[in-house]
Amino acid sequence: RCPLRGRVATGQAREMASTAANTAGMPSKKRKPPGSAGNQSDSVRVLQRESLRQLLSQIVPDERVDPLVEDFLLDVADDFVDSVITFACKLASHRKSDTLEVKDIVVHLERAWDMVLPGFEQDELKEFKPRKEQTAHKKRMVDVRRALANAAAVEAASLSAAKNAEEEEEEKEGEDP
């Protein structure tokens, strides 16, 4: 279920995605969820098998794909849409909205998947620039680490020098008798 106070369920989101796919020329198809071979409850498939075959023939025209691989790719497409819709619902909920808007999906695709959809670029989304205080703090922390490393090196050098001096004294004492 979508976290929008129960108003949009995943099945409804799938139907919306399927409707969007249909407008893009990809007809939808009912499918049975895994493990429910005899179950009557079907969910909507985002991508039809024939559309997947056409897409694969465009990419690799001379290759034949195993039906199990087709099923896997169809499941991956379904899972991708489910995850995007679910996270977009969480973003809408975070905005304190009861409506899933295009900008929720666009934000998730741009931030999580680094996908920019032509025609859906948003001016609201600005590149994250760290504040000046953050960069100044990082610079101070680098300076502190460098000073600690130098102090540790000086201390190690003085300990090494003291140890060498003790060894030389021991050698001189051993030669004196």
Total length of the chain: 177
Q: Of 67-71, 102-106, 164-168, 171-175, which range is least confident?
A: 171-175
Helix axes 49-59, 67-94, angle to 10 degrees: 110
**3-class secondary structure, 176:** coil
Alpha helices in 60-97 (DSSP H): 67-94
Give the least confident one: 57-71, 74-88, 125-139, 143-157: 125-139
Looking at residue 37, what is its pLDDT?
Answer: 40
**pLDDT tens track for 118-158:** 887 666 555 666 677 788 888 999 999 999 999 999 999 99
